[in-house]
Structure 1
């Protein structure tokens, strides 16, 4: 291996472009393959909305990739509304900037339309000297690329390339299959300052997210449901924009009327960016093994390729960014210490990401699912009561969106949870 290795990244999503930029800054020769040009990305169909939580946004800022600092709507708060089938709703809010760590790095989150973000990052990557190749990649293409580059990283989780990486049945990324429908709209009703609003019911979840688009600020309305649940939109034709938006509104009117009121009267003419801003998809959470062998040469999978999380936990961009940062650090360490980018190194690099971030995000997803299955631990009711009584507990609960590893330190273990609540009560 040469002192300055050649790295090829396949995929121009959050993880691929973040890693590409980080390696370029270190003087590494980086090539990136994507099937779309930046105008095609910018004018294409929307993806499911993701959020850059404070620590994710801080990594982007540190990498010089916070390109919408003045434009993207910030939010410091999440409002949670839990709607059990019987009994009173549980409603509380928490702030990111209440956490000292988040406050130090700027305690706010942002959401930027993926089409804007990836198109801008791709163009910036080329401006910084990265090489971009526009074409699709098949398995047979990889046989050529693994011979030409010192390291090939696959950051495309769908299709033929994603299938090269075997599922790891011994691990979970949390949650279950989800049907997701989403509309990016202008004219959504807000009460006071914009924040992330989360409505959680037995039938599914609904997120209202302030989002920056090519046309300015808008609201992403995202509806998640288990297949067959009350908020499942599978009956509407996926490419019939009017029918899909209509079904979203009908299901909200029937199941969460006050949430429906926020988008009552909005139609396809209120979609920001037209029909391409309406999307429905299905997520199947799972973990894959991080190494695929192409003619006995290993390739490394990254982010969505190796871990697909339930979108209910909102960890998509966090997982992608932290995975890319860990991979970047591991690549530079390997270069400085010497040694090949072999399968053993690849497995260890992924393991570090999974232990530091991936497994915690999985626990977060399972927590939401288990809540509605009635499988939460016996002390969970005490936590809910404490959230309503103590702002400190509510802030820590919400802070877990940003740092899901914190949940196991206080929420899941009965002894630890009660000790924490007793400490809070003495303040």
Structure 2
């Protein structure tokens, strides 16, 4: 008899996990609060630049449907505005370099991917239920399924998973987020022959990330501001009109990152739903949600480990979590999915997730002197630029050269 599993939430992790379980012969029900068509025609949800390891998890399940169409991102570049140069402005660059990725990265608009994956799941015989789940619904389902996985990272369900204060240093949002999907962005003149994610750091003010993506209307680029709360980039609250959102994005680019503004003078929004703004506090939560009726459910991806998007790890972590949980479920055979198993499954995922959390939380604070030295040195030493860039794929490597001044200087000495 095949085991019955319920997955609540149809994002990167929920869908990847549901499709993976389906391929292993489990009887899977997926709950989504929107249909595939509603997702496809809705608002953009994220910036989702996925690096090699996360993309490989999709390939392993043969879910890389858009790989040939999406731009291949071969580098990751860092620019740092000279402190104070934007006051009165315009800003100057103190640092500008690009590192090459060992394996390319890609971004596929989640409206395209989630809608396509939902349709695939249904075509393959999966039970797709369009219904926003409440805690009371899960109380009922926990008794009828062998395992309930909660991967809906927002809303009432998250409140079942208590915050782990020892792993969550921030109780407030650390950045105000503003995203715009655009057509018409010119190439970065420093590397016209290949695509890269560009990270522009404006000390004390925030960050602008630019990345190529595949959206519903083809190739596009994402302009993504992360503003320090209360600062000049924290300006999108209450901006409802998409064209006003874009105008504000560009106005801030002209002042704080004029070298990026120079290639954005002809951009237009990809569609009326191509903007997004908001903020949330990063948190690690207890992975087991307990239901009023005594049942337990396991939290997935953002539900249990939600990092600020400053390091671009959200969809990567979601993919890695889904892959880790899939392995834990399959290896468990027909034994009961009790709370001890849930804890073990989460701990296995946390082995990789902890590095993401540590690095992301470090990047949210003002960089210490040795990190500034490292980022500066990467402009002269290509191996340092490449290693930093590849850390986005494997954040565990930052332990070896990033956090401690001694390790940083030893590393820089070894390559110079």
Decide whether aligned partners of structure 1 residues 29 and 251 sit closer, same or farther in structure 2, where only a CA change above 3 A counts.
Answer: same
Partner residue of 1:350? 346
What secondary structure is seen at the aligned counterpart in 2 of 1:331? Answer: helix
Between the aligned partners of 2:43 and 2:374, the Cα distance in structure 1 is 41
Contact 2:51 / 2:393 at 8 angstroms: preserved in 1?
yes
What secondary structure is seen at the aligned counterpart in 2 of 1:420? Answer: helix
Between the aligned partners of 1:159 and 1:319, the Cα distance in structure 2 is 20
Aligned pairs, number: 402
Partner residue of 2:158? 162
Q: Is residue 291 of structure 1 aligned with residue 288 of structure 2? A: yes
Give the gaps of 5 or more residues in structure 2.
86-92
Contact 1:173 / 1:307 at 8 angstroms: preserved in 2?
no
Counterparts of residues 3-152 of structure 1 (less than 5 Å)? 4-86=2-84, 89-97=94-102, 107-152=103-148
Contact 1:173 / 1:361 at 8 angstroms: preserved in 2?
no
Decide whether aligned partners of structure 1 residues 364 and 137 sit closer, same or farther in structure 2, where only a CA change above 3 A counts.
Answer: same
CA RMSD, Structure 1 to Structure 2 (Å): 1.8
Between the aligned partners of 2:300 and 2:10, the Cα distance in structure 1 is 12
Between the aligned partners of 1:417 and 1:255, the Cα distance in structure 2 is 29
What secondary structure is seen at the aligned counterpart in 2 of 1:108? Answer: strand
Partner residue of 2:250? 249
Partner residue of 2:229? 227
Q: Is residue 185 of structure 1 aligned with residue 199 of structure 2? A: no
Between the aligned partners of 1:293 and 1:381, the Cα distance in structure 2 is 44
Q: TM-score, normalised by structure 1?
A: 0.90
Partner residue of 1:282? 279
Partner residue of 1:366? 361
Decide whether aligned partners of structure 1 residues 277 and 379 sit closer, same or farther in structure 2, where only a CA change above 3 A counts.
Answer: closer
Q: TM-score, normalised by structure 2?
A: 0.92
Contact 1:290 / 1:350 at 8 angstroms: preserved in 2?
yes
Contact 2:184 / 2:266 at 8 angstroms: preserved in 1?
no
Between the aligned partners of 1:17 and 1:218, the Cα distance in structure 2 is 24
Picking from 202, 206, 209, the partner of 1:207 is 209
Q: Which moved more, 1:166-175 or 1:361-370?
A: 166-175
Contact 1:173 / 1:287 at 8 angstroms: preserved in 2?
no
What secondary structure is seen at the aligned counterpart in 2 of 1:200? Answer: strand
What secondary structure is seen at the aligned counterpart in 2 of 1:96? Answer: strand
Q: Is residue 198 of structure 1 aligned with residue 203 of structure 2? A: no
* More helix by percentage: 1
Contact 2:74 / 2:195 at 8 angstroms: preserved in 1?
no
Q: Give a deviation string over 1:387-418, Cα, whole Å, max 9, x none.
A: 12221111001111111010011222233333
Contact 1:197 / 1:207 at 8 angstroms: preserved in 2?
yes
Question: Structure 1 residue 234: deviation in Å?
Answer: 3.1
Partner residue of 1:100? none
Contact 2:161 / 2:288 at 8 angstroms: preserved in 1?
yes
Question: Structure 1 residue 383: deviation in Å?
Answer: 2.1
Decide whether aligned partners of structure 1 residues 200 and 108 sit closer, same or farther in structure 2, where only a CA change above 3 A counts.
Answer: same
Decide whether aligned partners of structure 1 residues 242 and 386 sit closer, same or farther in structure 2, where only a CA change above 3 A counts.
Answer: closer
Partner residue of 2:168? 172
What secondary structure is seen at the aligned counterpart in 2 of 1:388? Answer: coil
Partner residue of 2:370? 379
Counterparts of residues 310-329 of structure 1 (less than 5 Å)? 310-329=308-327
Q: Which moved more, 1:384-393 or 1:213-222?
A: 384-393
Between the aligned partners of 1:63 and 1:341, the Cα distance in structure 2 is 23
Give the gaps of 5 or more residues in structure 1.
98-106
Q: Is residue 413 of structure 1 aligned with residue 404 of structure 2? A: yes
Decide whether aligned partners of structure 1 residues 85 and 386 sit closer, same or farther in structure 2, where only a CA change above 3 A counts.
Answer: closer
Partner residue of 2:261? 260
Question: Structure 1 residue 177: deviation in Å?
Answer: 2.7
Consecutive aligned runs of 4 or more in structure 1 exceeding 6 Å deviation = none
Partner residue of 1:104? none
Q: Give a deviation string over 1:82-101, Cα, whole Å, max 9, x none.
A: 1241586111110112xxxx
Q: Give a deviation string over 1:364-395, Cα, whole Å, max 9, x none.
A: 2123223xx25x1x533442343122211110
Between the aligned partners of 1:354 and 1:155, the Cα distance in structure 2 is 16
